[in-house]
Amino acid sequence: MGEGARIFTHLLHRDDAMRLYGFSDPAERALFLDLQKVEGVGPRGAMKILSGIDLKTFIAALDADDVDSLTHVPGIGKKTAQKIILSLKGKLTPAAETPGRSAEEDIASALMGMGFDRKTAKSSASAALKALAGRNLEGDELALELFKRAIAIAGGAEPGA
């Protein structure tokens, strides 16, 4: 209570709704995104899986082709567990295994979550970081300015704006 907290989010934008999902670390967010790539596992299913099994156990089950461990998670049957193993074994994003990411990667990820394509998001984050390189900003102030600048660049504003 009274301490700062960092929440990693993903905005899911569909024609009929926008939903914001929050995670305690980037590894959970990365796994959430990877699970949605599996046929039959949507955002709700991914959240059930994340709440039913920890990351290390999940990765160990994938590596060992352990269908039984995955079927103990509520909402995962044998067929879904097999699909998860076939789809994700050896293919998890690096953030799921190494939680530390750069500010540039975080900003690019946020821009992609807002609907910008990967190329635009990465180039905008890179340009914003270069534009703010000479300034003496730290922590939250740097993150906020970096994000503002990246959105402006991605939206078509001049990099020096």
Give residue-wise pLDDT tens across range 141-158: 777 888 888 888 988 865
Give residue-wise pLDDT tens across range 78-110: 999 999 998 888 776 544 444 445 777 778 888
Please compute the mean of the pLDDT values over residues 16-28 and round it to a whole number: 87
| pLDDT value of residue 101 | 56
The span from the CA of 150 to the CA of 82, in Å, is: 40
Q: Which tokens hold the place of 93?
A: 């994003």
Q: Which superfamily does 8-97 belong to?
A: 5' to 3' exonuclease, C-terminal subdomain (1.10.150.20)
pTM for the whole structure: 0.56
| pLDDT value of residue 97 | 45
Indicate whether 160 pLDDT > 70: no
Please compute the mean of the pLDDT values over residues 22-39 and round it to a whole number: 87
The torsion angles phi and psi of 22, rounded to 5 degrees, stand at -115, 145
